[in-house]
Amino acid sequence: MENSTAAAAAKAAGSPVAGPYAILPYAATIFLSSFLLFLVQPIIAKQILPWFGGSAAVWTTCLVFFQAVLLGGYAYADLTTRLGLRRQAILHVVLLVVSLACLPILASTGWKPLGDEEPVSRILLLLAATIGLPYFLLSTTTPLLQAWYWQRFQSAVPYRLFALSNFASLLALIGFPILFEPYFTLPQLGWAWSGLFACLVLLCAATAWRSMRAIVSQPASGRAAAAGVAVEPLSGSVQLKWLGLAALASVMLLAVSNHVTQNISSVPFLWVLPLALYLITFIFAFDHPRWYRRTLFLLALGVLTPWMAYEIASLQLSVAVPLYFTGMFVACMVCHGELARLKPDPRHLTRFYLMISVGGAVGAVLVAIAAPLLLPGYFELGIALAALALLLPLRLSGLARMAGIGVFALTVGLVVRGFGDYSADVRVMERDFYGVVRTRDRPEPVPYRAMYHGAIMHGGQLLGEAYRNTPADYFGPTSGYGRLFAAFGKQAPRRPLNIGVIGLGAGVIASYGRAGDTMVFYEISPRVVDIAKREFTFLSDTAAASSVVLGDGRLSLEREAPRGYDMLGIDAFSGDSIPMHLITREAMALYAKHIKPDGVIVFQATNRYVDLLPVIKRLAAELGFEAVVVSDFPEEDAGGPGYWRSTTDQVLVTRNKAILASESLREAAVAIEDRPGLPTFTDAHHNLLRILK
């Protein structure tokens, strides 16, 4: 329970009492600050996402920056309270005015990577240079103004303002994909945000001035009486509990986000939903004790934690998303509810928020930086579940503690089992910023080695000398690629082909190369390149002259002179979706620049959740291209042992009507149905909600 002794003493001594409207300047400033704090996150992340391959890891790295700067802001609020309200307020207003020089908050294109840079440090430096100071000052507002409010009205407890700040953050987070992204370009959003930030500077300065005047006019007897009230000092163990609970909630947020987006679906909406649930738990926990029903939530946690551990190897979207998002919500509700139960006297509120922020930053660093460096696969969720289960015996007593120990033991056992399933029959498992790459051998019906990036297979090779350099899987003879190469062979059998492919995978397309042909693969992940060369022989066996360009394919093409490709393949996957910056108007214009007038662009459009076909058709039509889809549905007994094949959809975009009329394509190529009302995807405007299956 909150300590109200200081408030009662202050009231008796004649300190001012907060009227019904006195809170408005503080509430308005905190609301606008928190709204801008979370609105800038998707704005800047969306701008830089294409520069680093469209990977979910970009968002996770951004979260590390946001948590770290939030920690710095809370530390600033805690340390500067020692200056007294007047000097603290003057310092803060001066820094806010200086931060106006950083506007507008849009990253310079000079930060685009060249291909061989270490992405994590570059993203962190980019964010610091672009939004560092404004974001830092925004992060200080909630604890700082709550402290000013407490010093002015010591009869009023300010913790509900923390719930208000999280509500504003939630509105910004949800409002971005629904209200702002579909209707405004990134430059418009950047300038609008900058204008609102300037308004915040004025609002915060006015609130600081009112607070200083009120403190100066407050009777000395009242200030002395309130200051003289004994407040229990903070113990190190209590502060560690604050830190640990906040860290565990942060770990669950990022671990669940990683598990769902990397292993199940790369749909970006699934990055936002966990963060929204995380904020909702803060709102509930700090708004009023009635929301956190301790017995109910601890019981739910005891059921959901081992259940999540049991399903950790499940890759079904319909099962995993509801389970893990519900489990994460309950876990964060327990962590934040326990935090709210432990909140101190308001005199210590800046230290309380500082330790919460330290915990959040620690959790983010563990998942986003330490896990990729130390763990070969996506094991952080299992570790987080084991730590979460340990919370039960630590927070319970008596028979309930014994039950908590049982839940912990069961969860650990299920996590170990899940780790075994994830690693079963794996030859190689390596990890980098762009995901986990695994290879696995299948003995039947034909010996076959597959490459997996996340949960999705990205090509493979039939084993044995009889099948060496034989195209298979998504790239077999009846696929769009297979039929196109056959058409090229019939149309110009002696003409060397110039081929470019964005996305290397196992390198299966290289098997189609002939003597005199040139093949250039663009690949962003160094791990994929290394494993493609070590585990598969396509790059070494091809008769074509092949090379690999390291870096994001689109950025690499932007730096190059027109290549004159006969075929340009767009096959860059991270999980289950093509990075969206590869299917925009600007990207299509870039591809058209790099192919010959009769060249062909091939999109790998196979996707469980997103319908890319009408998007590609619209882009092709704008540039005068025809777009057709070749769907390959192999029968159980088709192809014989030499043709291991998978169901796939590949879209061919070209002005070359002769190639589409060729024998290998004319029967298989099907026109794509247009979708009326679907806007053209551009770098500034693309909304996946419109094309979900």
User: What are the pLDDT digits (tens) for 580-594?
Assistant: 788 889 999 999 999
Q: Count the residues in the chain.
A: 693
What is the CATH code of the structural domain delimited by 471-691? 3.40.50.150
Asked if 281 and 333 touch (Cβ cutoff 8 Å), the reply is yes
Region of residue 469 (phi > 0: left; psi between -120 and 50: alpha; otherwise: beta): left
> Roughly what angle, to the nearest 10 degrees, separates helices 380-395 and 317-341?
40
SS (H, E, C) 330-341: HHHHHHHHHHHH
Q: What are the two backbone dihedrals, phi and then psi, of residue 450, each rounded to the nearest 5 degrees? A: -115, 150
Asked if 92 and 212 touch (Cβ cutoff 8 Å), the reply is no
The per-residue pLDDT for 23 is 79
> What mean pLDDT value characterizes the chain?
84
**Start-to-end CA span in the chain (Å):** 49
What is the CATH code of the structural domain delimited by 1-11+23-217? 1.20.1250
CA angle 277, 107, 50 (to 5 degrees): 65
**Comparing C-alpha atoms, which of 449, 453, 450, 448 is closest to residue 430?**
453
CA angle 606, 611, 617 (to 5 degrees): 95
Q: What is the C-alpha R_g of the chain?
A: 29
Report the pLDDT averaged over residues 167-188: 85
| pTM, full prediction | 0.76
User: Is 372 or 338 the better-scoring residue by pLDDT?
Assistant: 338
Q: What is the rounded distance in angstroms from the CA atom of residue 62 to the CA atom of residue 453?
A: 22
User: Is 219 or 653 the better-scoring residue by pLDDT?
Assistant: 653
User: Is 159 or 265 the better-scoring residue by pLDDT?
Assistant: 159
User: What are the pLDDT digits (tens) for 115-165?
Assistant: 666 788 888 999 999 999 999 999 998 888 888 888 877 655 567 788 888
Q: Of the given ranges (290-299, 454-463, 554-563), which has the lowest mean pLDDT?
A: 454-463
Residue 218 has pLDDT above 60, yes or no: no
User: What are the pLDDT digits (tens) for 339-354?
Assistant: 999 988 777 888 888 8
Residue 243 has pLDDT above 80, yes or no: yes
Burial readout 270-285 (b: 16 or more C-beta within 10 A, e: otherwise): bbbbbbebbbbbbbbb
The per-residue pLDDT for 635 is 57
**Cα 156 off chain centre by:** 39
In this prediction, residue 634 has a pLDDT band, given cuts at 50, 70 and 90, of low
Helices (H), 114-218: 119-152, 160-175, 186-217
Helices (H), 311-439: 317-341, 349-365, 371-374, 380-395, 398-423
> Roughly what angle, to the nearest 10 degrees, separates helices 56-80 and 236-263?
160
Residue 14 has pLDDT above 60, yes or no: no
Strand-by-strand arrangement of the 456-462 sheet: 426-432, 435-442, 448-453, 456-462
Residue 335 has pLDDT above 80, yes or no: yes
The per-residue pLDDT for 339 is 93
Q: Please enumerate, as own/partner, the contacts of 366-370 that have beta carbons within 8 Å and a separation of 24 or more.
A: 366/247, 366/251, 367/60, 367/250, 367/251, 367/254, 367/255, 367/258, 368/57, 368/60, 368/61, 368/63, 368/64, 368/120, 368/254, 369/64, 369/120
Report the pLDDT averaged over residues 542-566: 93
User: What are the pLDDT digits (tens) for 412-471?
Assistant: 999 998 888 878 889 999 988 878 899 999 887 778 899 987 667 778 898 888 888 888
**Cα 208 off chain centre by:** 36
Residue 360 has pLDDT above 70, yes or no: yes
Same topology, domains 1-11+23-217 and 236-423? Answer is yes
Q: Please enumerate, as own/partner, the contacts of 188-191 that have beta carbons within 8 Å and a separation of 24 or more.
A: 189/43, 190/43, 190/104, 190/105, 190/106, 191/104
Asked if 580 and 687 touch (Cβ cutoff 8 Å), the reply is no
What is the CATH code of the structural domain delimited by 236-423? 1.20.1250
In this prediction, residue 521 has a pLDDT band, given cuts at 50, 70 and 90, of very high
The per-residue pLDDT for 262 is 66
Asked if 683 and 581 touch (Cβ cutoff 8 Å), the reply is yes
CA distances from residue 198 to 98, 204, 385, 543 in whole angstroms, order as listed: 11, 10, 43, 61
Which sign, positive or negative, has the C-alpha torsion 457, 578, 54, 320? negative
The per-residue pLDDT for 20 is 53
Which sign, positive or negative, has the C-alpha torsion 181, 187, 191, 197? positive
Domains of the chain: which residue ranges?
Answer: 1-11+23-217, 236-423, 471-691
